[in-house]
Structure 1
Amino acid sequence: MSKHFYALCGAFDRHNYGDILFPLLHGHVIRQNLGGQAEIRYYSVKEADLSEFGGVKADSMKSLYLRIHKEPERHHVIFCGGDVLSADWVTMLGHHLPSDFLCRTLAAGRRLLGSKLANHWLRLAFRQPSKFPYVMDPKEAVASIHYTGVGASGFNVSRDPQHCISVAALLEGADSLSVRDQTAVELLSTLDVPARLVPDTALIMSDIFPEEKLAELAWQDKLETCHGFDPDNYVVFQAARIHLEHEQGSVAQQLADLYASSNLSVLLLPIGRAVGHSDAQVLQTLFQELDKRGIPCALQQSPHVLHIMASLAFSSGYIGTSLHGAISAYAFGHKVCGIATRRVKKLQAFLETWMKPIDAVSVQGTRFLEPFIELISSGKSVTGAEELAKQKLMVYADMNRYLPEHTGDI
């Protein structure tokens, strides 16, 4: 059997929990099925090495296009997940700027110039080979192109309908396309692009990194704790800075009341450390406020992807704005309270598509106390364990589409 060349593509070049996870999970599945017969390489907008955080070393998408032109018949290109369909150059390059302010300034420039023009100019300025960062033109000579459990929440159909139409035209030539929520299915359907509905591929993390394996890690070593934080009885709270900037006092009071009513300690967990997320800054301030109030709490200072995962795996529930925080909690059988879902539409879409109402609640703003207490009143473990197992099988079946028996590669 000849060697199979897999190009795994995604935003593996920034510290964002979900993006770091995808190549680990897809790489595991490929190696498990093909062993030494598979050569796997990772590609992102920028060359980067996130191995110190448990991630991968990625080459640039430019280098992938160069390699494809040299060996066109050899490559299976896999877009591993994440909100890649709606990603443009403004978004992806903005996350590599040195500050949130510059990232927001670039986004403001897009509103001023229009999405099409801003995207086009940035692409030319940075000499990028493709129209969009993570959507490949099917005219590229590759063995196959697959999009697996991807998202599309970033499209603004009313403001920029042409963006969706341009992406849809490129997707028509893909060998397989699956999306992670019903909202994306319906959007693509309006553009005559059929897409399978499959859960986010991160859902299988609890199979590949089970609790017994995570328990061996030093995930508690970098916890900053106060007032007798209980590592065996805690809830995880997380929020990106943009959703918590003016809500610190209210959130601190709700977490204090949650402890008083449930005896659950609070673990504050930064998940997104890339520009545009900045969880750590706002959660550090929240930790100081809870410390003043005498609440047993901890702040996870480790940025390692498996330490983040373990923090969620051994919790008694999750409250936050992160899609992959929610998916992680669910994957390990815990209930989820999504907050700020009026703005974090991908989180709301996932909860509505895949989780039972008794196991998950979506809060439009940041008033989570009563909904979360009601959620855990019927128990802290999900009741939809059978549904979770079926959803994982859907993910594996979708991944199998890019393995040799499905691609026809020998």
Structure 2
Amino acid sequence: MNDIILYGAFDRHNYGDLLFPLIMQRVINREYPEKRVEVSGLIDSDLSEFGAPKTISINKALKRAKKDAAIILAGGDIVACNWQSAYGYLLPTTIHPLYERLTWRLPKLTDYLVSRKVGLTSCFPFNLNKKDAGENRRIIYNSVGATSVSNLKDTKDIAYLSEMINNADYVTVRDHFSQKNLQNISVPSVEIAPDSATVMSTYISVEELTEKTSSSTHSILNKFKHGFIVFQISQAHVKGNTEKFAREIEKLYEELQLPVLFVAIGKAAGHNDIAGVKNIMSMLNSNVIYDSYLDGSIFDLMNIIRNSSCYCGTSLHGLITSMSFAVPRVALLPKLRKQINYMKTWDLPHMPKGINPEELVSAVKIATSTSNEDLELLSQKLTKTYMESFKKLTEFIS
């Protein structure tokens, strides 16, 4: 019988989603070593080859947990995430486009069928009703995102979500935009706390990172030991900008003489980076020194970003990793609300965000001009702020 269920989108291969249970288990084990923790997703999964904890399905977890267990929604943009999207991200990337086309016409039917397949009755997969969660179980939202709330149009969905969040035992969101979205659906008193992955540099030592980093990644880090730029972009977001980014990366290399390491942070359907970075690499001229890391191990990616001179990308958790390890960063593309909203809430004011291709060179120069002291102080401040928020959970999980 388990005391705590960590629940979220931990069953898909996406860097940020795999970070949450890894970090949260460590935080809970250090603060509450007597508690037994179960990691749960929509389905059973085993992504341990990438450094992630295994998951059991939420249906199984609810059946075997204590009747007064705490359910912690451990992070991610999960408020108002619908069944159609949540299940679609679990499908093979070859099937996902067809699934989207078929389900787009019948979203409500899709939501109903998928939720019943998973074994739940809740209108949204990560916003559980008491019928699913259990009457005596406490529900905690831990520094989650609520970006999708602004997309809701159905009054019944809005009323349901408002009721579920208001009935939760404790709620924190990770940025001001999420806070405002919840206020707009009559959820008045929601606190803000940094993303839980913020504390990774405290809970994962350099020694552990070094030990768990693959030999091939160590070879790249050794080759680029005098500095390098990390560049990441998803396939969906690079469309229309591939050649522009290639030309700007050439300029960046020419001016800074820093090699570029292209990384794939997401492999799940809808989050795939591999095609995006490969397309850019194919357009680079022969003068640019670069390499790529496309395997997707949590520890490899963390160590790559930790050792880099600057991280440039569309991944929120690539940015959060750089914030945790005091690495300069550049958030790409102005249309990506989630990344921009988070940085506006927590990052240094001058750190570049919403950057178009033609702004890349100047943005990297601005980011890398930041003093190490300022980067370190911010990392320490965010860790302290998150832990102060986490400790408020004591009355709900003790």
CA distance in 1, matches of 2:158, 2:259: 44
CA contact 1:316–1:380 (8 Å) conserved in 2: no
CA contact 2:127–2:165 (8 Å) conserved in 1: yes
1:39 aligns with 2:51: no
* Correspondences of 1:58-97 after superposition (within 5 Å): 58-68=55-65, 71-73=66-68, 75-97=69-91
Please, which moves more after superposition, 150-159 or 57-66? Answer: 150-159
- Which residue in 2 is equivalent to 1:407? 396
- Which residue in 2 is equivalent to 1:187? 181
- Which residue in 1 is equivalent to 2:300? 307
The one-letter code matched in structure 2 to 1:167 is: L
* Correspondences of 1:16-31 after superposition (within 5 Å): 16-31=14-29
1:55 aligns with 2:44: no
How far does the alpha carbon of each residue in 1:334-378 deviate from its partner, in whole angstroms, 9 at most, with x for none?
122111231x211010111111222x2112543342442441362
SS in 2 for 1:303: coil
CA distance in 1, matches of 2:15, 2:263: 11
The one-letter code matched in structure 2 to 1:407 is: F
- Which residue in 2 is equivalent to 1:332? 325
Compared CA separation, residues 300 and 179, structure 1 to 2 (3 A)? same
CA contact 1:65–1:129 (8 Å) conserved in 2: no
CA contact 2:8–2:76 (8 Å) conserved in 1: yes
SS in 1 for 2:213: coil
| 1:220 Cα deviation after fit | 5.5
- Which residue in 2 is equivalent to 1:137? 129
CA distance in 1, matches of 2:199, 2:283: 36
| 1:131 Cα deviation after fit | 2.5
How far does the alpha carbon of each residue in 1:234-275 deviate from its partner, in whole angstroms, 9 at most, with x for none?
011000101113322221111111111111111111000111
CA distance in 1, matches of 2:375, 2:158: 34
CA contact 2:323–2:375 (8 Å) conserved in 1: no
CA contact 2:82–2:125 (8 Å) conserved in 1: yes
- Which residue in 2 is equivalent to 1:203? 198
CA distance in 1, matches of 2:141, 2:171: 5
CA distance in 2, matches of 1:11, 1:248: 29
Match of 2:313 among 303, 311, 320: 320
1:346 aligns with 2:346: no
| 1:169 Cα deviation after fit | 1.0
- Which residue in 2 is equivalent to 1:246? 240
CA contact 1:224–1:299 (8 Å) conserved in 2: no
SS in 1 for 2:151: coil
CA contact 2:323–2:378 (8 Å) conserved in 1: no
CA distance in 2, matches of 1:390, 1:256: 36
| 1:96 Cα deviation after fit | 1.7
- Which residue in 1 is equivalent to 2:10? 12
SS in 2 for 1:172: helix
Superposed CA RMSD: 2.5
CA distance in 2, matches of 1:261, 1:95: 39
CA distance in 2, matches of 1:180, 1:6: 21
* Correspondences of 1:119-134 after superposition (within 5 Å): 119-124=111-116, 126-134=118-126
The one-letter code matched in structure 1 to 2:198 is: L
How far does the alpha carbon of each residue in 1:156-193 deviate from its partner, in whole angstroms, 9 at most, with x for none?
43644543432121111111100000001111112221
| 1:23 Cα deviation after fit | 0.6
CA distance in 2, matches of 1:407, 1:148: 12
The TM-score normalised by the length of structure 2 is: 0.91
SS in 2 for 1:362: coil
CA distance in 2, matches of 1:357, 1:264: 25
Compared CA separation, residues 125 and 80, structure 1 to 2 (3 A)? closer
| 1:108 Cα deviation after fit | 4.2
CA distance in 1, matches of 2:150, 2:396: 34
CA contact 2:314–2:332 (8 Å) conserved in 1: yes
* Correspondences of 1:219-298 after superposition (within 5 Å): 219=214, 221-222=216-217, 230-290=224-284, 292-298=285-291
CA distance in 2, matches of 1:13, 1:397: 28
1:157 aligns with 2:147: no
| 1:5 Cα deviation after fit | 1.2
The one-letter code matched in structure 2 to 1:23 is: P
Point out where structure 2 has 5 or more consecutive residues left out of the alignment.
none
SS in 2 for 1:319: strand
CA distance in 2, matches of 1:112, 1:236: 39
Point out where structure 1 has 5 or more consecutive residues left out of the alignment.
none
CA contact 1:229–1:298 (8 Å) conserved in 2: no
CA contact 1:335–1:382 (8 Å) conserved in 2: no
CA contact 1:271–1:279 (8 Å) conserved in 2: yes
CA distance in 2, matches of 1:93, 1:380: 43
Percent identity of equivalent pairs: 25
CA distance in 2, matches of 1:80, 1:63: 18
